[in-house]
Structure 1
Amino acid sequence: MSEATASAVAMAQEKLSEFSQRVQSIRESLHQVVVGQDASIDQLLVCALTGSHALLVGVPGLAKTLMVKTLASAFGWNFSRIQFTPDLMPADVTGYELLGRGEENGGPSMVFRRGPIFANLVLADEINRAAPKTQSALLEAMAEHHVSVGGQTYPLPAPFLVVATQNPIEQEGTYPLPEAQLDRFMMEIRFGYPSPEQEEAIVLRTTSGRVELPTAALSQEEFLELCDLVLSVPVPRTVASYAVRLCGSSRPEDERAHTMVRDYVAWGAGPRGSQNLVLAAKATALLDGRTAPTEEDVKSVALPILRHRVILNHRAIGDSVTAEQVIRSMLKDA
């Protein structure tokens, strides 16, 4: 090994060690407040480290909101919560213009009042309770990281992350998210009930005093450096090909389509699914202390990334087949 190569390897190991230490401190901060939900925490960290949005699905009382608030506190981010309701208007999300006193000559002029979307971490609570017109107000922000109001474009702060929640039980009075908006979320993270031991720990912790959120473990500049490190991770061609092949097998009209996909799927994952598989595999490898992702890393993140992108047909509904069953079959045969 040449001296230059040895130096590059040593530098990569140093960066990896620093990355692991910083992320571990964030993990510990989250576990100080949230009991259990280890897989959900890691998946949310993957979304954060790749600058991607997340959709949290779970019944009330499973600490979804608390986890998001804790993440914002641990990163030292500006946090904003929007409670989505049927009467919420787009201006309540993005902001609005009103007649005010101008800064230059003191005369009347239109002044923009920023909405709650102008934060580093935005919690869109029960997003499917708002009308489609209001849901769509998030599309531009999630895709372009800016909003347009009154013919003007206003950039959002960096980092910028939207975490939305949905209750899978109550569907009356809700508006399902359209496929175009679902595709903006990297992962659909599902929360399960805690074990008896974890539930006992939750009860004791939450009934013995106030829950204190952690102090910031990273500055925003340090966090953006971690994101840049994730992007700089090299991806083996075989891993990228596997991610593309996996998404291709989810499309019923594709020659690579899986047998269950041809029978039960109306629409499969698009190119953004392949991109997210590779990005998440990179972050997963770094979280595991490795410098390059593998096909196993892609498999480990495939379920939360693909299950909201695989749209079932009527036959699947009639045969009680779920998207998760289709994806697991795809992974088994891939």
Structure 2
Amino acid sequence: MLVPSPSPTDLIADAEDLAVVAARCAPQSEAERRLSGDVVEALRATGFAAHFVPAAHGGKEGTFTELSEAVARVGQSCAATAWCASLVANLGRMAGLLPAEGQAEVWATGPGTVVVGSLAPTGTAERVTGGWQVSGAWPYISAVDFSDWALLCARVPADGPAAARMFAVPRSAYQIADTWSNVGMSGTGSNTVTLEATVVPEARSFDRQNLFTGTPAVSTAACHVVPLQAVNGLSFVTPVLGAARGAQRAWTAYVGDKIRGAAARPGAPAIERGPYDLVLARASGEIDAAELLIRRAAQVADQGAGITPFEVSRNLRDCSLAMETVVTAVNRLFRAAGTSGHTTGSPVQRVWRDVNSAASHIAVQFEPAAAAYATQVFKI
């Protein structure tokens, strides 16, 4: 896990509590294809939703370093729960770019409001009196079943290629289609939001480009002015880092018992430790290396507006490389787990499915990250 601060914060304590419930309910969440009711209740009781909320609305305007540690701790017990906790925090951060009036609506009942959303411009919007009329369908929105608001992206008319805006929509306005049936990360409940021609006031909207430039309407907090490219990868790789730690822990316990059990049986053939030693050393080293990359990326992101274009591209590179490295480690553990470790009840095989599924997310693909990084280095 990421090294905690000398004085553990409330969010770290919350993460430990959530991890206990998430571990107990992981089979149920996976079977139901959404977080179980107990996990949702536990997650709502934590500070994840409020972590990046503007202080004016009772939020913490927290750091990426703290969030990364907390998410990774939850991920050791359940990757899906950690994924939802991470996205709930980060969508709250994005809603912090709204104008003041829109923020007041979103957090009218307090900073614990659960905001979900999508940056994909799969909806359409046109100007009407008082704001925008928005409609469309947005697939793959994690944690949507227990959301209070959705931050949705839609194309808007513009000169040349269509531009895109973000729109904050309350739960009463949108519908949820049950479309999530993936083999990995099934507990995230990443279903589809549909919205029928709904008028969204101007105050609950902002230009999507503001996310990429770090240009909030009113906030000056570091977490709101950092460019999206510098932090988006953290949203998706930190749950996977935690899951890899959980897989390593489960694999080590299983293999250790196997070796000790064979040694304790008189006349039983000894188990050759060499291959297991290599797997443990390589996989744990790979996970540690990924952790170091993630820790630096989080610390750099916490600079806010002080981050340089080079650091933005390096963060993107580091998160994508960390994801590749963690996947390699988990695949290594899975291959060495043997037939018994591949049973449906094994936590190693569940992490193997979750991690490989998470690694397909567009935000952590290495090729575009490499191109962005090289552009900054070569200056061409």
TM-score by length of 1: 0.29
Taking CA–CA contacts closer than 8 Å with sequence separation of 6 or more, which of the two structures ends up with the larger relative contact order? 1
